[in-house]
Structure 1
């Protein structure tokens, strides 16, 4: 590092002010700044005007500190005395100061109202305030860093343009347009919402189809899947708004959601002939699984337990090889082989990438999402299910965090409202279900098992409060 060379311009306002300037100059010298000051550089016989002109315009002077007190402002604004002469020299230099950094105002004094004394000709320059003893040291360090060109906050190195920016974003204009119409209808004509709900589903399915991509090399497929999952965020956000509008209008029902899930399912596999991989549509499977979770999350949040029960009990009309079994909600709990492959390929030290992505995208809904994932495991386990619902996010649940729906089963009234979710008709059946729930599974990569429902409530306490 080289020592910066500076010139200090100031007014001989008072003896105290001159001493303040001299102390500042001495301290700067001690801190490696080569200071030019009239008191030790302007000698008898020198041309005072030529000295000032040389200091201001010389390329050898890196910075000019302009000490702004009441005396300096008066003389500079009135163009009087030596300060007035310096002002006339500095002013044209300011306009040619391309780097905007050679001339630095230093505030050394303020008036009784706290106003600074920066003269008009340099009013627009950012100053350093050394007028307050409480902030002097911090601001002196700022001055020192400026003079030595060692900023406290360094600009990070310029990185590469993210690759995903070059990819075309998913176009969700149609769903956005329908949502705007639904918001308008919510206030002006709620009766139109049922028809507009169908329009939203049609627009969503059309945009869902745009997530399909051509076959890529097998070792690059997981990259494409993760990228497509990222691109699906706008669709997830639109679907959440769709749910909220239907709930706000109190027109949400199981038939509407069941139809939507059935319409979405075919997009988890190829819609045309051609060579595809089993995992090529994992991003669509991820999104549909996510939308199921958010559907139940909001239904639970706003206590639409009857709609939840209907969806849990429904038989879904899907073209799958189910060997004669009824197809229940658990068909939408997809296993995403591509994400497991990615974990191995990148040697990711995590339990489940699928879960990590769900939780990362959940934001403020994180706890509710994990809770509903676990609840779906309980609900579906209470029914005869071909597939089962493995709550992939369970290992993200915080220790001792309760699930409100189960905790509230102590209330007899709450049991009456929610027992159908567990496929039970009586309090005794519900108690027996919790008592004999059986062993819990765990993820292959985790030592932690799915939380047992008895961790949240003692079966003997169910329906014990009115």
Structure 2
């Protein structure tokens, strides 16, 4: 029998047809890898049936007992008559004692004229498996096999770590939760108020962002203040991710894309020290810079995962208005790379703690992924997409790298192409994603690929250079109809 599960079947000899049904069930279970103990299989003339049954119920190797319930079985167990009644006297105390509630299960074979199940009185309040009808027999037979093997269809996922936001400072709150819930409900319900609720939510986030500004404490390490300031933002980041998820699924027209774009635009002033502050360090706003990068990258990753390339194209290709540039005589329209800044505080922290990470920002981003449903690979893919979009522009204009992909520190050529580029072996799929890179055809990527033949152009982490062509899978890109 090896390690095959063993079961004993208790039933009533109601009729030849019923006995044959029980034998058929035993054979079906045998075909599913279950060793069945049944009187029809195991007893011969002259054998003691009651002793056999008692041995089966008490055998520690038999972990499961099936009670095949039809009208005769229920009546005989309730009146304690015949062999089934004797079995009931042995089985019922064990069920009542609840020493092992997972050892016995009633398998319903028959119902009365009112549709009520025939069950022994001692079992009436317990869950049973219904094999009385043909329409759902296969589904419930699977339930039975799963029960025998202790492999239920629905199983509890591994318990994760305690959410970091539970340890947030309760005094730091952006007050977004009520309107967040209204926005989610309105978008899912396709309500006329959805657009207004979404706008209100984004405005509250952008306005109350100011509450996260750090006031330097000379008694503490600055990088520790930086880390502490970001703890309360995890719940906000998760709210935004839910908003992006719901829009990706329910906003099939793309009408909310402009609102997402304006939201990110509203965060840009926080990346720079306010004009009213005369004395400052250039790292004072690193927490805002980090959040802008994190929010943008998460949004891009979510939209790519849902293949909402229309929303990605808007984020990557539409310009962002920054009024303050007027003070410096600069163009007030900036591109998406405004969300990718060097976070010097994390670099300094890496040096202070001598952790020697290839990408301190990438490591910190990864540490904050718990509970988001996003993987490091999904985030790295989004970072790579943004990098390539920036590179198309940079190569065309003979300028430096405009987006530094911190999440690529752990990406190697041995992993092969990212998912969207693997899918883009299809010409039709490539046509769907090409707008993210602002190209009209595959050949438009040639200058970028030529520039990267010189590895000095490619992102480098320590002594390792990231292979752009490998992560694109360039040899197979757009090769299949």
Q: Same fold per TM (> 0.5)? A: yes
- Highest CA radius of gyration, 1 or 2? 1
Look up the match of 1:87: none
Select 2:427's aligned residue among 412, 415, 422.
412
CA contact (8 A) 2:425 2:480 kept: yes
Measured against aligned partners, the alpha-carbon deviations of 1:226-247 in whole angstroms (never above 9, x if no partner) come to: 1112221111111111112222
In the alignment, the residues of structure 1 paired with residue 279 and residue 448 of structure 2 have an alpha-carbon distance, to the nearest angstrom, of 47
Deviation at 1:169, TM superposition (A): 5.0
CA contact (8 A) 1:377 1:389 kept: yes
Look up the match of 1:289: 293
Deviation at 1:338, TM superposition (A): 1.1
Look up the match of 2:418: 403
CA contact (8 A) 1:377 1:391 kept: yes
SS at match of 2:389: helix
Report the CA distance shift for 1:203/1:231 in structure 2 as closer, same or farther (over 3 A).
same
Unmatched segments (≥5 aa) in structure 2: 1-91, 100-163
Look up the match of 2:357: 350
CA contact (8 A) 1:172 1:234 kept: no
Deviation at 1:115, TM superposition (A): 8.8
In the alignment, the residues of structure 2 paired with residue 197 and residue 447 of structure 1 have an alpha-carbon distance, to the nearest angstrom, of 45
Measured against aligned partners, the alpha-carbon deviations of 1:208-236 in whole angstroms (never above 9, x if no partner) come to: 11111223329621111111122211111
Look up the match of 1:67: none
Q: Does 1:367 align with 2:377?
A: yes
Deviation at 1:165, TM superposition (A): 5.2
Look up the match of 2:86: none
In the alignment, the residues of structure 2 paired with residue 433 and residue 349 of structure 1 have an alpha-carbon distance, to the nearest angstrom, of 31
Deviation at 1:377, TM superposition (A): 0.8
Deviation at 1:199, TM superposition (A): 0.3
Report the CA distance shift for 1:237/1:189 in structure 2 as closer, same or farther (over 3 A).
same
In the alignment, the residues of structure 1 paired with residue 478 and residue 222 of structure 2 have an alpha-carbon distance, to the nearest angstrom, of 51
In the alignment, the residues of structure 2 paired with residue 229 and residue 180 of structure 1 have an alpha-carbon distance, to the nearest angstrom, of 23
Select 1:378's aligned residue among 383, 388, 401.
388
Look up the match of 2:347: 340
Select 2:469's aligned residue among 447, 450, 453.
453
Report the CA distance shift for 1:382/1:172 in structure 2 as closer, same or farther (over 3 A).
same
Measured against aligned partners, the alpha-carbon deviations of 1:17-39 in whole angstroms (never above 9, x if no partner) come to: xxxxxxxxxxxxxxxxxxxxxxx
Report the CA distance shift for 1:257/1:189 in structure 2 as closer, same or farther (over 3 A).
closer
Report the CA distance shift for 1:252/1:353 in structure 2 as closer, same or farther (over 3 A).
farther
Structure-1-length-normalised TM-score: 0.60
Report the CA distance shift for 1:386/1:209 in structure 2 as closer, same or farther (over 3 A).
farther
In the alignment, the residues of structure 1 paired with residue 343 and residue 224 of structure 2 have an alpha-carbon distance, to the nearest angstrom, of 13
CA contact (8 A) 1:170 1:232 kept: no
SS at match of 1:215: coil
In the alignment, the residues of structure 2 paired with residue 354 and residue 322 of structure 1 have an alpha-carbon distance, to the nearest angstrom, of 31
Look up the match of 1:309: 313
In the alignment, the residues of structure 2 paired with residue 205 and residue 455 of structure 1 have an alpha-carbon distance, to the nearest angstrom, of 35
CA contact (8 A) 1:190 1:249 kept: no
Deviation at 1:387, TM superposition (A): 6.0
Unmatched segments (≥5 aa) in structure 1: 1-110, 119-161
In the alignment, the residues of structure 2 paired with residue 189 and residue 114 of structure 1 have an alpha-carbon distance, to the nearest angstrom, of 51
Select 2:282's aligned residue among 278, 281, 287.
278
Bigger drift between 202-211 and 188-197 goes to 188-197
Look up the match of 2:223: 222
Pairs aligned (count): 310
Look up the match of 2:108: none
Measured against aligned partners, the alpha-carbon deviations of 1:177-203 in whole angstroms (never above 9, x if no partner) come to: 112112322354522211111101111
Deviation at 1:401, TM superposition (A): 5.0
SS at match of 1:382: helix
User: Aligned-residue CA RMSD in angstroms?
Assistant: 3.1
Aligned ranges 1:153-302 → 2 under 5 Å: 167-168=169-170, 170-173=172-175, 175-217=176-218, 220-250=221-251, 251=254, 253-271=256-274, 272-302=276-306
CA contact (8 A) 1:371 1:403 kept: yes
Measured against aligned partners, the alpha-carbon deviations of 1:114-143 in whole angstroms (never above 9, x if no partner) come to: 998x9xxxxxxxxxxxxxxxxxxxxxxxxx
